[in-house]
Amino acid sequence: MNSIVPILLSLSDIERIAVPHEEVLSIVEDTYRMAGRGQVEVPTKIGVHPDYPKSFLHAMPAWVSGARALGMKWVSYFPGNMQRGVPDSTGVIILNHADHGLPIAIMEGMWVTYARTAACAAVMAKYFAKPNPTRLGLIGCGGLGTWSLLMLAEMFPSLTEVHVASRTEASRTDFAKRMAEKGPWRITPVAGLRHAVEGMDIVDSSLPRPPQPLIKGEWWAKGALAIPLDVVATWDQASLSAADQLVTDDYPGLKGYARRVAPALQIPPEHVDFAKVVIGEVPGRQNAEQRIMAIPTGIASLDITLAATIYERAQRLGIGKPWVMA
């Protein structure tokens, strides 16, 4: 066997490789399709929870036989780090060769995390949003809010009006200015979360976990699609109860997360496995009046297939520094 020299890929390397948004969406949808066909092995994420408030580190391995993609993401979250001049979230992805298991790449993981999470929202919306949605509510305008707008707009060129709410006036105002020229939409910063929910066709939330749920089910219009990228912390029990359909990509993982961070929240037992929707075994939206909540939980197979594509592009373009282990 020839010597295998892993490569190191920084954030700037990954940005130079520039996987187009439409390709990211295709990779995510294909990975869900492979999951539906039983071509994915991905355990529910495990982690540790240091004594820093609300922090975690998750180990997320995956084997995607349909894509010959093998590896693991190690991701951390320490909320409030930004106030100390360092990121709240960090991630590292290790890729291994599918034939012999040797490591082939170590790469920065947050680009992949943001891109695939937002792509999950857009792919779920493909199956569960009303046709040609025009109004998007964004609750949270950090990295996930930015990526969500870009991915949802890639999926739905019909989006023309965006209401953005956040914890501070400065963050939503800056977001609106920064994103105003990046698409054919009108972006309106709104002071209350309610104004980013009422009347929206799609509502995408990505807030740091609050002490109590902030979004009320009474605001949620018939026919709207809710996508809590913050999983279960931000929407109240009435929201879950109002949902005509709950869709997720890892129901046991969703239940486990809810038990840990919001034990009083009752997750409905009736749910739709999104991978089964993608392979056509279960229908998507069935009528224009349904309130649907679609919750991507962050499964590692999506990180690893996207990371494998980045690695392949890096190899073709000669990008990345060699990492000599010996």
Give residue-wise pLDDT tens across range 171-182. 999 999 999 989
Q: What is the pLDDT of residue 2?
A: 59
Host domain of residue 50: 7-112+301-322
User: Do 181 and 278 share a domain, yes or no?
Assistant: yes
Give CA–CA dist 76/88, Å, rounded: 8
Q: What is the pLDDT of residue 261?
A: 84
Query: What is the domain-level CATH number for residue 280?
Result: 3.40.50.720
Tell me the pLDDT of the chain averaged across its residues: 94
User: Do 294 and 182 share a domain, yes or no?
Assistant: yes
User: Do 97 and 128 share a domain, yes or no?
Assistant: no
pTM here is 0.95
User: Do 101 and 133 share a domain, yes or no?
Assistant: no
Query: Span 303-314, mean pLDDT?
Result: 98
> Is residue 136 one of the residues assigned to a domain?
yes
Candidates 176, 167, 149, 148; CA nearest to 80 is 167
User: Do 270 and 127 share a domain, yes or no?
Assistant: yes
Give CA–CA dist 105/82, Å, rounded: 28
Q: How many CB atoms lie within 10 A of CB 287?
A: 9
Tell me whether residue 97 is exposed, middle or buried, using C-beta atoms within 10 angstroms of its C-beta: 0 to 12, 13 to 18, 19 or more: middle
Give CA–CA dist 135/90, Å, rounded: 32
User: Do 135 and 227 share a domain, yes or no?
Assistant: yes
User: Do 145 and 66 share a domain, yes or no?
Assistant: no
User: Do 175 and 285 share a domain, yes or no?
Assistant: yes
Give CA–CA dist 117/260, Å, rounded: 21
User: Do 137 and 283 share a domain, yes or no?
Assistant: yes
The percentage of residues in the chain with a pLDDT greater than 70, rounded to a whole number, is 98
Candidates 97, 120, 93; CA nearest to 108 is 93
- Within 13 Å, how many C-alpha atoms sit on residue 111's CB side? 19
> Is residue 103 one of the residues assigned to a domain?
yes
Domains in the chain, number? 2
Residue 1 has pLDDT above 80, yes or no: no
Q: What is the pLDDT of residue 262?
A: 87
> Is residue 1 one of the residues assigned to a domain?
no
pLDDT digits (tens, 9 = 90+) for 2-19: 568 899 999 999 999 989
